[in-house]
Amino acid sequence: MPKDEFDPDDPMELNGVAFLTDEDTTEAMTDCFIEEFMHMGYNHKQLLALFRNPHYLGMNMVLQNRGQQFVRDKITEVFARWGRTIQSFGTGGRRRQEAQESTPNVVEVENQSLLASAAKENPNDTATDPLGNSAPQLNL
C-alpha cells in the first residue's frame, strides 16, 4: 500500500483515542499546549493566535469554553513558571492599571508592562531547560 493512503488495519498507523471523563482536564491540557509551543520558540502573542485558530481543535476548544482571559492568565502563569519575561497583551489603560495593582510581579519598564519572573535565578546554577535557556529555581 502506498505511504500516502491511510490503512485502518496497519498497527503502526497513528490513531487518536478520546476518553470520556467527568473530570475537567482543561487546565492541565492548556498548560501542556502552552509549554510545548513555548519550548518551540513561540512568544505569548503567537500562542494566543494559536488558541484563536479553529484548525487547532484542542486549543480553540479551551478558548471557546473558558474564554480569552483564562488563556491569557495561563500563558502568563506558564511563562512565569519557566522564568520567561513577556510583554503585556495590550490591555486598555484602566485594565492595565488594575492588573498592576493586583499583580506584584508586574514591573514598568519604558512604559511597557513586563512580567518579572516568579522564580529566582541563581547565577551559580547551571541548570538549563531543553532549549538551553537557564531554568528557573523553583522554591516549592
Strands 112-115 and 106-109, bridge-based pairing: antiparallel
- Tens digit of each residue's pLDDT (9 = 90 or more) over 32-79: 999 999 999 999 999 999 999 999 999 999 999 999 999 999 999 999
Determine phi and psi for 120, rounding to 5 degrees.
-90, 135
> Residue 86, SS3?
coil
| pLDDT classification of 113: cutoffs 50, 70, 90 | very low
Distances in Å between the Cα of 24 and the Cα atoms of 3, 27, 32, 116, 117 are: 37, 8, 14, 30, 28
* pLDDT for residue 100 is more than 50: no
Whether the pLDDT of residue 90 is over 80: the answer is no
| Residues near 108 by beta carbon (within 8 Å), at least 6 away in sequence | 100, 114
Hey, is 101 helix, strand or coil?
Answer: helix
Bigger pLDDT: 116 vs 37? 37
* Beta pairing partners, 106: 115
What is the model's pLDDT at position 99?
Answer: 47
Average pLDDT of the chain, as a whole number: 74
Helices then strands, counting H and E runs in the chain, come out as 5, 2
- Per-residue confidence at 106, pLDDT binned at 50, 70, 90? very low
Distance of CA 90 to the CA centre of its chain: 17
